Structure 1
Amino acid sequence: MRATSETHSSNAIATPEPKRSRPRAVILGAGFAGLNAARQLRNSAVDVVVIDRNNYHLFQPLLYQVATAGLNASEICQPIRGLLGKYTNIRVLMAQVESVDRANKRVILENDALEYDYLLVATGAQVKFFGPPSWRENSTGLKTVEDALTLRRKILSAFEAAEQSKDPEVIRQLLTFVVIGGGSTGVEMAGAIREIAAEVMNRDFRNVNSRDARVILIDALPHILSSYPEDLIDKATKELERRSIEVLTGERVTDIDANSVRVGERVIPTRTVVWAAGVEPSPLLKSLDTELDATGRAVVDADLSLPGSDCEFVLGDAAHFDHGLDAALPGLAPVAIQQGRYVAKLLKRRVAGKTYEPFEYFDKGQMSTIGRAAAIVEFGRIRTVGFFAWLLWLFIHLLYLVGFKNRVIVLVEWTYSYLAFKRGSRIIIGALPEPAPSPTVKALPESTPEVILAPPLERAPTNTRPST
């Protein structure tokens, strides 16, 4: 990806820039941390350059709703220039960052180099696949708009193909959806897939009963949602099972191919696998020549600066911050938002010759939606699962969604979906998958795997509103 604003076509070894009269802060990434840092620095005594490989800010917590036809991608994205372009001290570049030359205080772009006085690395995280390369080829993560649209295409196409098939085994395979990873992303995806199968798709098809769809949630840990208290985990698990979602915990995936997922010696025929089992920081951090933790995040000091530096900071999912804590802060949006604002305020105080305090995180708790009219929330004394938690989840996500227009559109979409049991974004974009062959199982030399084929479910009554 090439820089698209005020960059040069020369190679990265560019001539030195003219001497600047004001300090320049370069922000890598326009996610929650980068965007909030830039906004905090608006109209300040610091010139700001925001670099992102995309021209939009993505509200990642609602990506799963794009993947399951609840929202359109444009409703959770906002053009970066539209958010920051009106501020005269902020410049936006759509470019691919190749590396950071800390010795010369330069950011190396694909076709240019940019000097900085202050550097804020907020490059976020990407999906991490375990296992052989075939696992990446046969499953889809959920970190980008492209991921969400790919999943939506696969999910909707599975129902379309099942409608045309006359082979019961092929239909079972097509209508089996496996979600690997029992964190918030995995739970939200599993709940949303089950919701559209039971409440939405059943109105659209005649030859196949969409309520026969299986949704299987697999996690290697003893519990799903392991960051929550055990009592909330139990309630959330029971709620998922009440919605006919199969929860397999303490189970390790041993193979993924185009037609199945292997869990130990059991084989689950499926053509749609969602990978929600882990993320890793951007590989750009390796160019910083600094200490990284076991997951690849940069270890930072109490003010979020790199050790030994007073001008280079790492924020959000890219940072390992554990000062005064039992463990490093998790990669959550509230963490990134607070860190972005903190570093921006720090820079303004430093330029003004003022002192500043170390970063201190205000814990805003955690929340995850389980499906229609149910969520899990832990915030201070509020610890609940159910309808009230879901309403709180809706309010918080609308509050943090960037852009007033997007908030209004999303609120209308949610209201329509809740009242009408419909989703308006059931549009298949891109090439359809190849027609599914009959399910096959790879032969094992010493044992025969157990193939899990569910019997057809009895047709549920038309009104399947969950109790609240």
Structure 2
Amino acid sequence: MGKNVVIVGGGFAGISAAKKLANTSYKITIVDKTNHHLFQPLLYQVATAALSPGDIAMPIRAIFSKQKNVQVILGEVTRVDKDQNRIYLRNGSSLPFHYLILAPGAQYNYFGNEKWKEHAPGLKSLSDALEIRERILLSLEKAEQIIDAEKRKPFLTYVVIGGGPTGVEMAGSIAEIAKRSMMRDFRNIRPEETTIYLIEAAEGILNGFDKPLPEKGLQTLKDMGVEVLLNSPVEEIREDGVQVDGQFIETPNIIWGAGVKASPIIQELGIETDRMGRAMVEGDLSISGSPNIFVAGDAAHVKDERGNPLPGLAPVALQQGKYLGNIIKQSSSNRKPFHYVDKGTMATIGRAKAVADIRGFKFSGFFAWLLWGLIHIFFLIGFRNRFRVFAEWTWHYITFKRGVRLIAKKE
């Protein structure tokens, strides 16, 4: 067996790098805190009971079951020894490497208010999605049992914090749940009793999109009944609600999507990072002084041709992973810098509602939603996952029904 390549993170960057190196002389070891590759762009659909966890996740071992040079380890990396070329895991074990790819992803940034996390979960993992789903379902069940309309109002109020794609997608999906798809199954609550807030500290939503798409997205949300509060930084989050812009919104249903920061392992490298904790990497994605250690995906600060940082999107991570797999295979010191090919950005807002910017061509409405769905299904790993998601979406579109409405935990 050849040199050791250790990949930390089983996301898009890590998986695509490992695929490039599969069936080669390299010994590949993938280390991840979970045992599955997760298609994060569709997490909100699990959170809103449209899809099952198994529809958007696949065991990493299953992905590489036929590649004999790929080993998978369930564990969390706590330290990287750059001098000895070795990583250390939380269980006390360690792994040597000739090449190291760090693609540990990101986590939500509460901007120093970590106590808010308990009451306003983010959406980065399957457990996050399931927690949010059960909060929504439990809230509806509690509202159903309260006769007094004023007293049940908090349980029919939903607050999504952050006007990026995740926040917009969540707010739109909750609006569909609350105002149409699930309400037919409840007898004592009416769709018009629900209130959905989208709170954004900046002056607009979908700031990564060019005009007029943010304006169209904003109008679509308003048409769906979402109250969008702009220029409204959150002041306090409690168990019973959110303080924002001089008012207190009473609700147990709070979802955080206002910002991210890189995995803490990046700070352990002792290198320069940006304000989001992402590693400032060289043109070949390596870190300064260590040409055999690379950072990719959400944990890397990489600029585009205009000098702007690349967004934390799946296509960016996929291209970076393939690039790293290729340069490791070539084993050359003369490396061409990474170049990202931007194929467009898009966000869905609801049923047959989306915005998309594909290489300067801007779309909104049904056609953008159809593009969004087809592209996301294409990126799913495994034929079974693609078929199931396509079937689920077709069913939801025709019937307006959400399929996975189970409450597993006890109150």
Q: TM-score, normalised by structure 2?
A: 0.97
Question: Residue 355 of structure 1: CA displacement?
Answer: 4.7
Work out which of the residue numbers 430, 450, 457 in structure 1 matches 2:409. Answer: 430
**CA spacing shift, 1:209–1:289, aligned 2, 3 Å:** same
Supply the distance in 1 between the matched residues of 2:279 and 2:111 (Cα, whole angstroms).
21
Partner of 1:80: 60
Supply the distance in 2 between the matched residues of 1:427 and 1:82 (Cα, whole angstroms).
27
Count of residues paired in the alignment: 410
Q: Is the 8 A contact 1:45 1:348 kept in 2?
A: no
Question: Residue 348 of structure 1: CA displacement?
Answer: 0.4
Supply the distance in 2 between the matched residues of 1:166 and 1:96 (Cα, whole angstroms).
48
Supply the distance in 2 between the matched residues of 1:84 and 1:97 (Cα, whole angstroms).
21
Question: Residue 133 of structure 1: CA displacement?
Answer: 3.7
Supply the distance in 2 between the matched residues of 1:418 and 1:360 (Cα, whole angstroms).
38
RMSD (CA atoms): 1.3
**CA spacing shift, 1:130–1:355, aligned 2, 3 Å:** closer
**Residue 69 (str. 1) matches residue 40 (str. 2):** no
Work out which of the residue numbers 298, 311, 318 in structure 1 matches 2:292. Answer: 311
Supply the distance in 1 between the matched residues of 2:112 and 2:96 (Cα, whole angstroms).
39
Q: Is the 8 A contact 1:316 1:331 kept in 2?
A: yes
**Residue 176 (str. 1) matches residue 176 (str. 2):** no
Supply the distance in 2 between the matched residues of 1:401 and 1:379 (Cα, whole angstroms).
20
Work out which of the residue numbers 94, 119, 125 in structure 1 matches 2:74. Answer: 94
Supply the distance in 2 between the matched residues of 1:139 and 1:323 (Cα, whole angstroms).
33
- Give the partner amino acid of 2:148: D
Supply the distance in 2 between the matched residues of 1:102 and 1:323 (Cα, whole angstroms).
28
Partner of 2:197: 216
Supply the distance in 1 between the matched residues of 2:253 and 2:263 (Cα, whole angstroms).
26
**Residue 25 (str. 1) matches residue 1 (str. 2):** no
Work out which of the residue numbers 354, 357, 360 in structure 2 matches 1:378. Answer: 357
Q: How does 1:293-442 map to 2 (within 5 A)?
A: 293-322=274-303, 324-350=305-331, 355-432=334-411
Q: Is the 8 A contact 2:304 2:340 kept in 1?
A: no
Question: Residue 299 of structure 1: CA displacement?
Answer: 0.7
Supply the distance in 2 between the matched residues of 1:417 and 1:401 (Cα, whole angstroms).
19
Partner of 1:256: 237
Question: Residue 229 of structure 1: CA displacement?
Answer: 1.4
Question: Residue 139 of structure 1: CA displacement?
Answer: 1.0
Stretches of structure 2 lacking an aligned partner (at least 5 in a row): none
Question: Residue 396 of structure 1: CA displacement?
Answer: 0.4
Supply the distance in 2 between the matched residues of 1:198 and 1:321 (Cα, whole angstroms).
41
Q: Is the 8 A contact 1:28 1:51 kept in 2?
A: yes
Question: Residue 323 of structure 1: CA displacement?
Answer: 6.2
- Give the partner amino acid of 2:162: G
Supply the distance in 2 between the matched residues of 1:393 and 1:40 (Cα, whole angstroms).
26
Supply the distance in 1 between the matched residues of 2:62 and 2:110 (Cα, whole angstroms).
34
Tell me the SS of whatever aligns to 1:424.
coil
Partner of 1:37: 17
- Give the partner amino acid of 2:45: Q
Supply the distance in 2 between the matched residues of 1:431 and 1:283 (Cα, whole angstroms).
32
Q: Is the 8 A contact 2:221 2:349 kept in 1?
A: yes
Partner of 1:272: 253
Supply the distance in 2 between the matched residues of 1:39 and 1:159 (Cα, whole angstroms).
44
**Residue 243 (str. 1) matches residue 224 (str. 2):** yes
Supply the distance in 2 between the matched residues of 1:303 and 1:326 (Cα, whole angstroms).
16
**Residue 229 (str. 1) matches residue 210 (str. 2):** yes
Work out which of the residue numbers 136, 139, 142 in structure 2 matches 1:158. Answer: 139
Question: Residue 200 of structure 1: CA displacement?
Answer: 1.2
Supply the distance in 2 between the matched residues of 1:229 and 1:202 (Cα, whole angstroms).
35
User: For residues 35-72 of structure 1, what are the alpha-carbon distances to aligned partners after superposition, in whole Å with 9 as ceiling and x for unaligned?
Assistant: 00001111112111111111100000000000000001
Tell me the SS of whatever aligns to 2:389.
helix
Q: Report the identity percentage.
A: 45
Stretches of structure 1 lacking an aligned partner (at least 5 in a row): 1-20, 433-468
- Give the partner amino acid of 1:403: G
Work out which of the residue numbers 137, 142, 145 in structure 1 matches 2:123. Answer: 142
Question: Residue 217 of structure 1: CA displacement?
Answer: 0.3
Q: Is the 8 A contact 2:105 2:299 kept in 1?
A: yes
User: For residues 163-216 of structure 1, what are the alpha-carbon distances to aligned partners after superposition, in whole Å with 9 as ceiling and x for unaligned?
Assistant: 001232221110000000000000000000000112211210111113421110
Supply the distance in 2 between the matched residues of 1:292 and 1:29 (Cα, whole angstroms).
19
Question: Residue 85 of structure 1: CA displacement?
Answer: 2.4
- Give the partner amino acid of 2:214: I
Question: Residue 128 of structure 1: CA displacement?
Answer: 1.3
The higher radius of gyration belongs to 1
Tell me the SS of whatever aligns to 2:390.
helix
Question: Residue 381 of structure 1: CA displacement?
Answer: 3.1
Q: TM-score, normalised by structure 1?
A: 0.86
Question: Residue 134 of structure 1: CA displacement?
Answer: 3.3
**CA spacing shift, 1:131–1:287, aligned 2, 3 Å:** closer
